[in-house]
Amino acid sequence: MDDVISLGIGEPDFATPQHILDAGIRSLQAGETHYTSNAGIYALRAAIAEHLQRLYGISYDPDSEIIVTVGVSEALYLVMNAILDPGDEVFIPTPCFVSYQAEVILAGGIPVEIPSRVEDDFQLRPEALEAAITPQTKVIFIGYPSNPTGAVASRETLLEVARIAKAHDLLVISDEIYDRLVYGTEHLCFAALQDMKKRTITLGGFSKSYAMTGWRVGYACAPEELLQGLVRIHQYTVMSAPTISQFAALEALKHGEDDVAEMR
Protein backbone atom coordinates (compact mmCIF):
# COMPACT_ATOMS: atom_id res chain seq x y z
CA MET A 1 0.00 0.00 0.00
CA ASP A 2 1.53 3.29 -1.10
CA ASP A 3 -0.09 5.38 1.65
CA VAL A 4 1.27 3.36 4.58
CA ILE A 5 4.29 4.72 6.43
CA SER A 6 6.43 2.07 8.10
CA LEU A 7 7.56 2.88 11.62
CA GLY A 8 9.77 -0.21 11.76
CA ILE A 9 13.47 -0.54 11.08
CA GLY A 10 15.10 2.68 9.84
CA GLU A 11 16.28 1.66 6.37
CA PRO A 12 17.55 4.46 4.08
CA ASP A 13 15.99 4.70 0.62
CA PHE A 14 19.43 4.93 -1.00
CA ALA A 15 22.20 2.58 -2.02
CA THR A 16 25.60 2.91 -0.38
CA PRO A 17 27.52 5.58 -2.35
CA GLN A 18 29.81 4.12 -5.00
CA HIS A 19 33.06 5.55 -3.62
CA ILE A 20 32.35 3.86 -0.28
CA LEU A 21 31.71 0.56 -2.05
CA ASP A 22 34.96 1.03 -3.94
CA ALA A 23 36.89 1.65 -0.72
CA GLY A 24 35.63 -1.64 0.67
CA ILE A 25 36.62 -3.46 -2.51
CA ARG A 26 40.08 -1.85 -2.49
CA SER A 27 40.62 -3.02 1.07
CA LEU A 28 39.93 -6.61 -0.01
CA GLN A 29 42.24 -6.31 -2.97
CA ALA A 30 44.96 -4.90 -0.71
CA GLY A 31 44.75 -7.96 1.51
CA GLU A 32 42.88 -6.35 4.41
CA THR A 33 41.03 -9.59 5.13
CA HIS A 34 42.26 -10.32 8.65
CA TYR A 35 41.31 -9.32 12.19
CA THR A 36 41.88 -5.74 13.23
CA SER A 37 42.71 -4.61 16.74
CA ASN A 38 39.82 -5.25 19.12
CA ALA A 39 38.91 -1.57 19.27
CA GLY A 40 39.05 -1.17 15.48
CA ILE A 41 41.59 0.19 13.02
CA TYR A 42 43.32 3.26 14.40
CA ALA A 43 42.70 5.36 11.28
CA LEU A 44 38.94 4.93 11.70
CA ARG A 45 39.00 5.70 15.41
CA ALA A 46 41.05 8.83 14.69
CA ALA A 47 38.59 9.84 11.97
CA ILE A 48 35.66 9.36 14.36
CA ALA A 49 37.42 11.55 16.93
CA GLU A 50 38.04 14.26 14.33
CA HIS A 51 34.44 14.00 13.10
CA LEU A 52 32.96 14.54 16.57
CA GLN A 53 35.39 17.34 17.35
CA ARG A 54 34.55 19.14 14.11
CA LEU A 55 30.78 18.78 14.41
CA TYR A 56 30.20 19.05 18.15
CA GLY A 57 33.39 20.36 19.73
CA ILE A 58 33.91 17.31 21.91
CA SER A 59 37.28 15.64 22.25
CA TYR A 60 37.77 11.85 22.43
CA ASP A 61 41.12 10.06 22.52
CA PRO A 62 41.16 7.49 19.68
CA ASP A 63 43.63 5.39 21.69
CA SER A 64 41.43 4.89 24.73
CA GLU A 65 37.95 6.40 24.38
CA ILE A 66 36.55 5.00 21.10
CA ILE A 67 35.62 1.46 20.05
CA VAL A 68 34.40 0.39 16.60
CA THR A 69 31.48 -2.04 16.88
CA VAL A 70 29.26 -4.25 14.76
CA GLY A 71 26.71 -1.50 14.34
CA VAL A 72 25.12 0.49 17.14
CA SER A 73 23.21 -2.66 18.07
CA GLU A 74 26.39 -4.34 19.28
CA ALA A 75 27.50 -1.14 20.97
CA LEU A 76 24.24 -1.14 22.92
CA TYR A 77 24.74 -4.79 23.90
CA LEU A 78 28.27 -4.06 25.10
CA VAL A 79 27.23 -1.04 27.12
CA MET A 80 24.39 -2.78 28.93
CA ASN A 81 26.47 -5.82 29.80
CA ALA A 82 29.43 -3.73 30.90
CA ILE A 83 27.64 -1.37 33.27
CA LEU A 84 24.53 -3.14 34.59
CA ASP A 85 24.27 -5.34 37.64
CA PRO A 86 21.19 -7.54 38.13
CA GLY A 87 18.24 -5.39 39.13
CA ASP A 88 19.67 -2.07 37.96
CA GLU A 89 17.02 0.18 36.43
CA VAL A 90 17.44 1.88 33.06
CA PHE A 91 15.09 4.74 32.16
CA ILE A 92 13.96 4.53 28.53
CA PRO A 93 11.76 7.21 26.93
CA THR A 94 9.04 5.62 24.80
CA PRO A 95 8.04 5.14 22.00
CA CYS A 96 11.52 3.89 21.17
CA PHE A 97 13.54 1.52 19.00
CA VAL A 98 12.45 -2.07 19.45
CA SER A 99 15.67 -3.44 20.97
CA TYR A 100 16.24 -0.95 23.79
CA GLN A 101 14.21 -2.74 26.45
CA ALA A 102 15.35 -6.17 25.26
CA GLU A 103 19.03 -5.28 25.62
CA VAL A 104 18.46 -4.13 29.20
CA ILE A 105 16.66 -7.37 30.06
CA LEU A 106 19.36 -9.50 28.41
CA ALA A 107 21.94 -7.81 30.65
CA GLY A 108 19.90 -8.49 33.79
CA GLY A 109 18.60 -4.96 34.17
CA ILE A 110 15.08 -3.61 34.49
CA PRO A 111 13.80 -1.28 31.75
CA VAL A 112 11.63 1.53 33.12
CA GLU A 113 9.58 3.24 30.43
CA ILE A 114 9.15 7.01 30.60
CA PRO A 115 6.31 7.68 28.13
CA SER A 116 6.40 10.77 25.93
CA ARG A 117 3.22 12.41 24.66
CA VAL A 118 2.07 13.68 21.30
CA GLU A 119 0.92 16.94 22.90
CA ASP A 120 4.54 17.53 23.95
CA ASP A 121 5.85 16.73 20.45
CA PHE A 122 7.21 13.49 21.95
CA GLN A 123 9.80 15.39 23.96
CA LEU A 124 11.21 13.56 26.96
CA ARG A 125 9.58 14.92 30.13
CA PRO A 126 12.34 15.52 32.68
CA GLU A 127 9.83 15.90 35.51
CA ALA A 128 8.45 12.42 34.80
CA LEU A 129 11.96 11.04 34.66
CA GLU A 130 13.00 12.56 37.98
CA ALA A 131 9.80 11.43 39.68
CA ALA A 132 10.51 7.81 38.71
CA ILE A 133 14.00 7.62 40.26
CA THR A 134 14.52 4.89 42.85
CA PRO A 135 17.60 3.58 44.68
CA GLN A 136 17.94 1.01 41.87
CA THR A 137 18.10 3.60 39.08
CA LYS A 138 21.48 3.55 37.35
CA VAL A 139 21.10 4.78 33.75
CA ILE A 140 19.14 7.29 31.72
CA PHE A 141 18.92 6.12 28.12
CA ILE A 142 18.17 8.72 25.46
CA GLY A 143 17.93 8.28 21.71
CA TYR A 144 17.55 11.37 19.58
CA PRO A 145 16.48 12.13 16.96
CA SER A 146 13.98 9.50 17.98
CA ASN A 147 13.10 6.34 16.11
CA PRO A 148 10.14 6.09 15.54
CA THR A 149 8.76 9.54 16.46
CA GLY A 150 11.40 11.72 14.81
CA ALA A 151 11.46 13.98 17.87
CA VAL A 152 14.61 16.06 18.27
CA ALA A 153 15.55 16.74 21.88
CA SER A 154 15.63 20.44 22.69
CA ARG A 155 18.57 22.06 24.44
CA GLU A 156 16.35 22.80 27.43
CA THR A 157 15.33 19.15 27.71
CA LEU A 158 18.91 17.91 27.43
CA LEU A 159 20.12 20.38 30.05
CA GLU A 160 17.44 19.11 32.42
CA VAL A 161 18.45 15.51 31.77
CA ALA A 162 22.06 16.50 32.49
CA ARG A 163 21.03 18.20 35.73
CA ILE A 164 19.12 15.11 36.86
CA ALA A 165 21.98 12.78 35.95
CA LYS A 166 24.45 14.84 37.97
CA ALA A 167 22.11 15.34 40.92
CA HIS A 168 21.41 11.61 41.23
CA ASP A 169 24.81 10.31 40.08
CA LEU A 170 23.42 8.48 37.04
CA LEU A 171 25.08 7.37 33.83
CA VAL A 172 23.64 8.45 30.47
CA ILE A 173 23.63 6.38 27.29
CA SER A 174 22.99 8.59 24.27
CA ASP A 175 22.12 6.88 20.97
CA GLU A 176 22.81 9.53 18.32
CA ILE A 177 22.77 7.35 15.18
CA TYR A 178 20.40 9.83 13.48
CA ASP A 179 22.48 12.92 14.33
CA ARG A 180 22.96 14.01 10.71
CA LEU A 181 19.25 13.72 9.85
CA VAL A 182 18.03 16.80 11.70
CA TYR A 183 15.99 19.49 9.95
CA GLY A 184 15.29 23.08 10.94
CA THR A 185 17.61 22.96 13.94
CA GLU A 186 21.04 21.66 14.92
CA HIS A 187 21.89 18.39 16.63
CA LEU A 188 23.37 18.74 20.10
CA CYS A 189 25.75 16.03 21.28
CA PHE A 190 24.77 15.18 24.85
CA ALA A 191 28.30 14.39 26.00
CA ALA A 192 29.39 17.88 24.88
CA LEU A 193 27.20 19.49 27.54
CA GLN A 194 29.13 20.85 30.51
CA ASP A 195 30.53 18.11 32.78
CA MET A 196 28.64 15.34 30.98
CA LYS A 197 31.38 13.57 29.04
CA LYS A 198 32.60 11.77 32.17
CA ARG A 199 29.20 10.15 32.78
CA THR A 200 28.02 9.64 29.18
CA ILE A 201 28.45 6.85 26.64
CA THR A 202 27.77 8.11 23.12
CA LEU A 203 26.65 5.68 20.42
CA GLY A 204 26.94 6.51 16.72
CA GLY A 205 27.42 4.93 13.35
CA PHE A 206 27.18 4.96 9.60
CA SER A 207 24.00 3.07 8.75
CA LYS A 208 21.61 6.00 8.49
CA SER A 209 23.67 8.96 7.27
CA TYR A 210 25.66 7.01 4.68
CA ALA A 211 23.13 4.27 3.77
CA MET A 212 25.36 1.53 5.16
CA THR A 213 22.91 -0.59 7.17
CA GLY A 214 24.20 -3.90 5.81
CA TRP A 215 27.84 -3.09 6.51
CA ARG A 216 27.24 -3.40 10.26
CA VAL A 217 29.65 -0.84 11.60
CA GLY A 218 29.17 1.66 14.40
CA TYR A 219 31.02 3.01 17.42
CA ALA A 220 30.84 3.90 21.08
CA CYS A 221 32.69 6.75 22.78
CA ALA A 222 33.23 7.02 26.52
CA PRO A 223 35.81 7.87 29.16
CA GLU A 224 38.56 5.26 29.31
CA GLU A 225 37.41 3.63 32.54
CA LEU A 226 33.98 2.97 31.01
CA LEU A 227 35.22 2.05 27.55
CA GLN A 228 37.57 -0.66 28.78
CA GLY A 229 34.59 -2.68 29.97
CA LEU A 230 33.11 -2.54 26.48
CA VAL A 231 36.38 -3.63 24.88
CA ARG A 232 36.67 -6.66 27.15
CA ILE A 233 33.21 -7.95 26.24
CA HIS A 234 33.67 -7.08 22.56
CA GLN A 235 36.95 -8.99 22.24
CA TYR A 236 35.41 -12.18 23.61
CA THR A 237 32.23 -12.03 21.53
CA VAL A 238 33.01 -10.74 18.03
CA MET A 239 36.78 -10.05 18.29
CA SER A 240 36.54 -7.03 15.97
CA ALA A 241 34.12 -5.34 13.60
CA PRO A 242 34.27 -6.53 9.95
CA THR A 243 37.51 -5.29 8.44
CA ILE A 244 36.04 -4.40 5.05
CA SER A 245 33.31 -2.40 6.77
CA GLN A 246 35.82 -0.44 8.80
CA PHE A 247 37.67 0.68 5.68
CA ALA A 248 34.37 1.61 4.03
CA ALA A 249 33.39 3.63 7.11
CA LEU A 250 36.74 5.41 7.00
CA GLU A 251 36.02 6.43 3.42
CA ALA A 252 32.57 7.65 4.44
CA LEU A 253 34.01 9.95 7.09
CA LYS A 254 36.81 11.22 4.86
CA HIS A 255 34.86 11.85 1.67
CA GLY A 256 31.14 11.36 2.38
CA GLU A 257 29.90 14.83 3.33
CA ASP A 258 28.39 15.47 -0.10
CA ASP A 259 26.57 12.13 0.13
CA VAL A 260 25.06 13.06 3.49
CA ALA A 261 23.84 16.37 2.09
CA GLU A 262 22.36 14.73 -1.01
CA MET A 263 20.57 11.95 0.88
CA ARG A 264 19.13 14.33 3.49
Q: What ranges do the domains of the chain cover? A: 18-263
pLDDT at res. 3: 84
SS (H, E, C) the chain: CCCCCCCCCCCCCCCCCHHHHHHHHHHHHCCCCCCCCCCCCHHHHHHHHHHHHHHHCCCCCCCCCEEEECHHHHHHHHHHHHHCCCCCEEEEEECCCCHHHHHHHHCCCEEEEEECCHHHCCCCCHHHHHHCCCCCEEEEEEECCCCCCCCCCCHHHHHHHHHHHHHCCCEEEEECCCCCCCCCCCCCCHHHCCCCHHHEEEEEECCCCCCCHHHCCEEEECCHHHHHHHHHHHHCCCCCCCHHHHHHHHHHHHHCHHHHHHHC
Question: How high is the mean pLDDT in each 10-residue block of the chain (264 residues)?
Answer: 75 90 98 98 99 97 99 97 98 93 98 94 93 98 92 94 98 96 93 97 96 97 97 97 98 94 86
- The answer to pTM > 0.75 is yes
Q: What is the pLDDT of residue 4?
A: 81
Which pLDDT score is estimated for 5? Answer: 74
Instruction: Return the CATH class of domain 18-263.
Output: alpha beta
Given this model, what pLDDT does residue 263 score?
87
Predicted local distance difference test score (pLDDT) of residue 224: 97
